[in-house]
Amino acid sequence: KFRALYEPYIPARTDDDDETLANFMRRRFGAEMLDKIGAPLLAGIYSGDVEHLSIMATFPRLRVTEQQHGSLIRAARAVGATHASPASSPQTSMFMSFRGGTVELTDALAAKLTGDLRLNCTVRQIKQAADGTYQITLANAAPISASAIILTTPAFTAAKLLRDLAPKSAAELNQIPYNSTGSISLAYRLADVPRPLDGFGLLIPASEGRPINAMTWSSTKFDHRAPENHALIRVFFGGARRPEMLTIDDSGLLVIVRSELKALLDITAAPLFQRIYRWTNANPQYEVGHLERVADIEAALPPNIYVAGSAYRGVGIPDCVHQARQVAVSFVQKATAS
């Protein structure tokens, strides 16, 4: 704690070279803060390892703040003094979601699209024709001719499709690593949960050696997630910390998670129901040098071929929406100029 409070006196780094999240947190706040707070919080977003994740690709604002203020604590104090909210200001939750889950967003987007829409259609190959257009070979349908293509697939899928068309881009795309993660949601009667589910959940430091990474109180974060006098708890596992958890079958996983709930929350009752979800190779890892790799990928793409999505400049929904808009604007500008 004393080392963390010393942060305002640590000299700021002034260069623009990349570094790992771990190095940044250790340099500014010390090893204990990295282990107890920095790694569980920051790495949890990416399901990655802070010893490899890039500060410039994941949380560049931290480096900018360090350069501008010389200290993150000093910057927080300055912002707090400038933007102090009146005591009467209404309190709003920092968490928002769709009542039916994020699928509501993708379903709405699909419903709004016009033109020749092909859903759940596998693309086998992309080739460039003599006239400069692109021929898209589909698995179970006639080929499609297109003047431009936007690939929003995972990086490794884009690499396969661009292997012949853009080998340099494909090679770099294959270098973006991915992690697999999972979650299990468990429903309980509130009477069977001895401890109050205050706050929004808990993050577990890797140093504790537990098989799970975090928990969130879904019914506390979102009122509509559970009926009255019931609780919904979501447990996260896998990622860079415990990839072997993805290989355990459902029954074995439930035994482990229930044991953790007993140890951490004193819950001994069986859940009313549980739902297990696994996402294989779904979490791109922004390792040191990631932004330079993305720039190299884009520079080697053929004309009117674009890539966007969580593999490049942000994994959150707002990041992906922002990238999509940028790509759309770039395409329209080139199309109208030609």
Mean pLDDT, consecutive 10-residue stretches, the chain (338 aa), reads: 88 93 96 93 90 96 94 89 58 70 91 89 93 93 92 98 97 98 97 92 94 95 88 97 97 98 98 97 98 98 96 94 93 83
Domain interval for residue 34: 2-77
- Looking at the structure, tell me whether residues 277 and 194 fall in a common domain: yes
DSSP assigned state of 270: P
- The structure tokens 């770099």 sit at 172
pLDDT at 283: 97
12 near 67, Cβ under 8 Å? yes
Q: How far is CA 141 from CA 123, 136, 148, 163, 187, in A?
A: 10, 10, 19, 22, 43
DSSP assigned state of 263: H
Backbone phi and psi for residue 174, each to the nearest 5 degrees, phi listed first: -70, -15
d(CA 217, CA 235): 9
Structural domain includes residue 162:
yes
Structural domain includes residue 158:
yes
The token duo for 27 is 């340099």
Structural domain includes residue 90:
no
d(CA 264, CA 54): 32
How many structural domains are present in the chain? 3
DSSP bridge partners of 137: 125
- Looking at the structure, tell me whether residues 168 and 290 fall in a common domain: yes
pLDDT at 99: 83
- Looking at the structure, tell me whether residues 45 and 165 fall in a common domain: no
pLDDT at 302: 95
pLDDT at 255: 98
Where residue 297 sits, what CATH number does that domain have?
3.50.50.60
- What pTM, to 2 d.p., does this model score? 0.90
Structural domain includes residue 137:
yes
- Looking at the structure, tell me whether residues 182 and 272 fall in a common domain: yes
Structural domain includes residue 262:
yes
Structural domain includes residue 136:
yes
- Looking at the structure, tell me whether residues 252 and 333 fall in a common domain: no
pLDDT at 90: 52
Structural domain includes residue 94:
no
pLDDT at 26: 96
pLDDT at 83: 62
pLDDT at 73: 93
- Looking at the structure, tell me whether residues 157 and 194 fall in a common domain: no
pLDDT at 223: 80
